[in-house]
Amino acid sequence: MSNDTRNLIVSLIALALAVGYLGWAESYPAARAEVPRLVAWVTVVLSAIDVLAHTGTAAGRRTAALLSGRAHLEATGHLRITLEEWLAVGWMGVSLAAILVGGFLAGMFVYVAGYMTIHGKLGWRLSLYVAASTVFSCWLVFDELLRTGLYRGSLFGG
């Protein structure tokens, strides 16, 4: 069996599992079903795109080229990761670490401040203000009004 056939089979299995998860998510009570349904539908769509990319058809080859970077490679003759891409991955990694260590609110602060500074190219004062405002709003809505109990992080007993 060729690698292409194996990849297509794996993609089809992932799609079948995603459809099964969607069916399971539909069995949830309405009050609790929103997030599982969203995750299921996103998984179904991404799995369907993956199946298309492994079909070997013209549309499948084009989809695979777009998703893998081959389209950029063919257009430019090189495939390099830019500094902006490294920064994007880096600040997301730092934000994830901040969520795990300091909790959801601290991680959100790092993420928003980093995004506004690096990607939005705003000054650090405005970025910190936007991040603090976002964190305060989320704390007020989710922790105080809805009482959802946001993750506190490993430093604070989360």
Domain locations along the chain: 3-76, 83-156
5 pLDDT higher than 80: yes
| Token pair listed for 136 | 């305060």
- pLDDT, tens digit (0-9, with 9 covering 90-100), for 9-47: 999 999 999 999 999 888 888 877 788 888 889 999 999
126 pLDDT higher than 90: yes
* pLDDT interval class at 119 (50, 70, 90): confident
- For the segment 106-134, the average pLDDT, to the nearest whole number, is 90
> Which backbone phi and psi does 121 adopt, to 5 degrees?
55, 35
Q: Are 114 and 94 in contact (CB under 8 A)?
A: yes
| Token pair listed for 130 | 């936007």
Taking the C-alpha atoms of residue 127 and residue 135, their distance in angstroms, rounded to an integer, is 12
81 pLDDT higher than 80: no
Give percent of the chain above pLDDT 90.
29
Distance separating the N- and C-terminal Cα atoms of the chain: 47
Q: Taking the model in full, what pTM does it have?
A: 0.49
Taking the C-alpha atoms of residue 12 and residue 69, their distance in angstroms, rounded to an integer, is 22
Q: Are 4 and 60 in contact (CB under 8 A)?
A: no
Taking the C-alpha atoms of residue 115 and residue 30, their distance in angstroms, rounded to an integer, is 34
3-class SS of residue 123: coil
Q: Are 15 and 50 in contact (CB under 8 A)?
A: yes
- For the segment 118-146, the average pLDDT, to the nearest whole number, is 91
| Token pair listed for 153 | 């992080």
Q: Are 97 and 85 in contact (CB under 8 A)?
A: no
* pLDDT interval class at 3 (50, 70, 90): confident
pLDDT for 156: 77
- For the segment 54-83, the average pLDDT, to the nearest whole number, is 74
